[in-house]
Amino acid sequence: MGLSLKQLLAELAKYIDISSEMQVGAIDYACSSGGIIYVKELSKVLGLSYKQTLDLMTRLRRRGLVVRRGIGVYGLTETGRKLCNLINVVKPYSDSPFKVIRLLLIVGSNPHGKLPLEKLMKLSRMRREELAKILSDWGRFYEEDGREYFEFDAEGERRFKELVHVLGIGPLTLRVLTFLTRGRDLSSILTRFLIIYLSVSMLVIYDVIAAHVLGVFVASLWIAVTVILIILLALKK
């Protein structure tokens, strides 16, 4: 069953939020552990608190992927196992496609698809050797001013664009929103942006109602920003 990366991503997106690093990590763990999830162990793997991991399990349970087997223990449902089988059958990489997705989003959401190696290691929680193995076909590692970086090549940039288009957003839009919100995945980025946008909108409305000198200018500027964001989202840039 030969699927392109774009087709594989579209299939995975039917089951989970592939932009969520935590959901991706949890399913990756479940698939590699025989379908049994120990919350305490998973919390250590993902760097989450026990409660945060339970909340994550609740989200996966609502998607029909896991079921509670006992205190602190969950198991994959039939749907969850189908997801694992899909990955095992179609994955075009020797590594987990979940790791590929994670790294594409981490590197791609930064300007120019470029990231210092130490930051990439921290965000991905992977060693350099593992990063080099997964990313070697999609870019290059190089030194600049005494620091080592990874940068997408044309193929890496193409793969990143395939991923974000499956998510229903464009690469430029994701990079702008990531810069503004400092979120780690699409869910947190959009949530933070919504909070920021609504907060600033309330301030703009207040400024106009209060008839401040800069009210009209601020309102015009905010309308322009809104229009630009709408265009970016609509065109998936």
Instruction: For residue 117, give the CATH number of its domain.
Output: 1.10.10.10
Instruction: Tell me what pLDDT residue 93 has.
Output: 47
Residues 128, 84 share a domain: no
The reported pTM is 0.58
Domain of 145, in residue numbers: 97-160
Return the H-helix or E-strand segment holding 150. strand 147-152
Domain boundary among 40, 74, 90: 90
Q: Structurally, how many domains does the chain consist of? A: 3
Instruction: Tell me what pLDDT residue 175 has.
Output: 74
Residues 153, 85 share a domain: no
Instruction: Tell me what pLDDT residue 16 has.
Output: 80
Residues 11, 70 share a domain: yes
Domain boundary among 64, 90, 116: 90
Residues 66, 51 share a domain: yes
Residues 86, 12 share a domain: yes
Residues 83, 29 share a domain: yes
Domain boundary among 132, 160, 188: 160
Buried b (16+ CB within 10 A) or exposed e, 63-95: bebbeeeeebebbbbeebeebbebbeebbeeee
pLDDT tens string, the chain, 237 residues long: the values are: 455 666 777 777 788 877 677 887 888 888 888 899 999 999 988 888 999 999 999 999 999 999 999 999 999 999 998 888 776 655 544 456 667 777 888 888 777 778 899 988 888 888 888 888 888 878 899 998 889 999 988 888 887 877 777 666 667 777 777 777 776 666 667 677 777 767 777 666 666 666 655 566 666 776 776 777 666 655 555
Residues 187, 148 share a domain: no
Burial class, 154, CB count within 10 angstroms (exposed 0-12 / middle 13-18 / buried 19+): exposed
How far is 89 from 73, CA to CA, in rounded Å?
27
DSSP notation for 53-93: HHHHHHHHHHTTSEEEEETTEEEE-HHHHHHHHHHHHH--S
